[in-house]
Structure 1
């Protein structure tokens, strides 16, 4: 059985502004559990979409009852893969995330789609979905319930973090265009990608979501 979560939010900012803030939302005072973020892959496709893969490390506090069941040396950090697709033609930003470790205890997959609102000017529509599962025999249900409650709490913090980034952008004079923000992010990613490539076989191309 999998726990499913879905909600829809209207953000009172233009799509370009929201996408710019997305790349600059860390660090912020509402996401102190996010420890690191690294770009491991990035390309612009022939149809002008920007594909990115990032690796995030976050703290992973277990509930007290779970700490009694699992080894004391279990990692208190969780590694998250984030694949994103910026489609400037259709004006959408799609984000897929999932955890790499602790997947037996709990797996959380999330999809967020930011779209330019056709009904409301200067508004961006966000649809967020999450699927939470656990493979711990006999305890999967309470673990999923805990995961769902934590996800709801974290997505509220995530929205506050995005609003914080939006406020910072609104304070800039002049406001940076989306193309400049993406260009800066791409240039910043080059050094990270080179260092990762020297330590391993090289960054792998993310799945081609459509």
Structure 2
């Protein structure tokens, strides 16, 4: 098993980040052209805790090197199952995802957490990402290590792109909300 882990502080409040998270794969994000579709399978708010639980299926175009593609059956479309929990009381968004495609050969379990930054609770949000990667190649330790190492390196590259793309979404969301607040203020002022 190999572990990938990273963290980053966004210069946006938890409220801004938790709302923009639903637009992460929108056209505003120029860094996610590989995402083909995001389908919401279920959504529920727990009346006691207020936690919003959402299940989604994310379909991606995923290219792999030829040596790895032969183990994975040559398909370039993959599916990821994601369950997210938005807790408004603790101001935490937790997203857990696992690959469905190639799951009998490679297990990737990712956890992402967004929470207010300890140093600037009202203006910054801490992003933590961890992935556990396990190749299931039986006794082929060298192949197993190569697949796991390639996946960790790909995660690292994608994490950097994902952070850049999410910054784009956050900035666009901030602009849209600012425009909407200004429009509403003008409407209120016109009625007075």
Higher mean C-alpha deviation, range 40-49 or range 116-125: 116-125
What is the aligned-residue RMSD (CA, Å)? 1.7
Give the match's secondary structure for 2:110: strand
1:174 counterpart = 2:178: yes
- How many correspondences in the alignment? 174
Whichever structure has more strand as a proportion of its residues is 2
5+ long unaligned stretches in structure 1 = 178-210
Q: 1:135 maps to which residue? A: 136
Shift of the alpha carbon at 1:70? 5.4
Shift of the alpha carbon at 1:105? 2.7
Shift of the alpha carbon at 1:176? 6.8
Give the match's secondary structure for 1:38: strand
5+ long unaligned stretches in structure 2 = 182-192
Q: In structure 2, do the counterparts of structure 1 residues 157 and 92 end up closer, same or farther at CA, with 3 Å as the change threshold?
A: same
Shift of the alpha carbon at 1:66? 2.2
Q: Deviations over 1:24-73 (max 9, x none)?
A: 121321011111001000011021110000000011212122235554xx
Give the match's secondary structure for 2:39: strand
Q: TM-score, normalised by structure 2?
A: 0.84
Report if aligned partners of 2:72, 2:102 keep a CA contact under 8 Å in 1.
no
Give the match's secondary structure for 2:79: strand
Give the match's secondary structure for 1:23: helix
Q: TM-score, normalised by structure 1?
A: 0.78
Report if aligned partners of 1:25, 1:164 keep a CA contact under 8 Å in 2.
no
Shift of the alpha carbon at 1:79? 0.5
Matches within 5 A, 1:1-210: 2-27=1-26, 28-46=29-47, 47-69=49-71, 71=73, 74-120=74-120, 121-137=122-138, 138=140, 139-174=143-178
Greater gyration radius: 2
